[in-house]
Amino acid sequence: MEVIICPTEERVAEVAAAKAARLARGIGPTVVLGVATGSSPVKTYQELVKLVAAGELDLSEASAFALDEYVGLPQGHPESYHEVIHRTVTVPLGLDPARVHVPNGFAEDLSAAGEEYEAAIKAAGGVDIQFLGVGSNGHIGFNEPTSSLSSRTRIKTLAASTRADNARFFDSADDVPRHCMTQGLGTILDARHVILMATGQAKAEAVAALIEGPVTAMWPGSVLQLHRHATIVIDEAAASGLRLREYYKETYSHLPDWQRLEIQV
């Protein structure tokens, strides 16, 4: 794992965007992005918008696959991830909506919808760059603790702590759906590169478990230890539970030239 510790939330976004842009340039305009919802990647998307506007990144033929969707919201609900992805990713980055995919949490047959989503990712050639956040309980996507480490897109029941964390997006905690469709941990592991962003003290325990804990379904993000190209970009507060903090900082400040991003932290 590559662990990059930044002094501020803004720098986390700049570094994550610079890393993604470097990878995307190497792949070309048909890059396939994996996009997460939640607060963590929002500033990174805004940085990508700046790079596109400056002509430093071409996403004109890019596709995108979202990680997850609630089950039980009416279609068009502003907090459905179809709408959130449209608002925060598709429109600002100027992506073609026909090439932006979100799991169909509105389907009558959810297990068929899960299989169709897996097939669509495969047909697009797989995800090149997967953006991720992490839940305070360690979930990635909506793969709650005890999710199978080789799971694929399917329906899950949200943990009570996740529903409480996400209550801020709804009028009341009771309005947060109980179910979701999410790419599985196996699906996420298939992405060629993973960039996970986390900020704030509330993520410190999950970040420590993800990077330095044992690989365990109790902390689903820890499955990223099995990924060959995972970059974790975090601020000091989110890094506060890590034992090897100084090592990660030393590593980043002594990267060989060819690996160095234009941004120092």
Report d(CA 189, CA 187) in Å as an integer: 5
Q: How far is the CB of 256 from ligand GLP (least distance, A)?
A: 31
Using CA atoms, how far residue 253 sits from 42, 108, 228, 250, 265, in Å, is: 26, 51, 21, 5, 8
Q: Which two tokens stand for residue 221?
A: 């993000």
Query: Does the active-site annotation cover 137?
Result: yes
Residue 191 token pair: 């992405």
Angle at 80 between CA 142 and CA 193, to 5 degrees: 45
Amino acid at 207: V
3-class SS at 20? helix
Residue 136 C-beta: closest distance to ligand GLP, Å: 7
Answer yes or no: 68 catalytic: yes
Q: Which of 139, 143, 165, 235 is catalytic?
A: 139
Of 48 and 262, which has the nearer Cβ to ligand GLP? 48
Exactly one of 144, 166, 193, 235 is catalytic; which is it?
A: 144
Element housing 231 (H / E): strand 230-235
Active site residue 116: no
Residues that bind ligand GLP (CB under 6 A): 36-40, 67-68, 133-135, 141-142, 162, 166
Which of 9, 69, 128, 137 is catalytic? The answer is 137
Q: Cβ 120 to ligand GLP, closest distance in Å?
A: 19
The catalytic residues are 68, 137, 139, 144
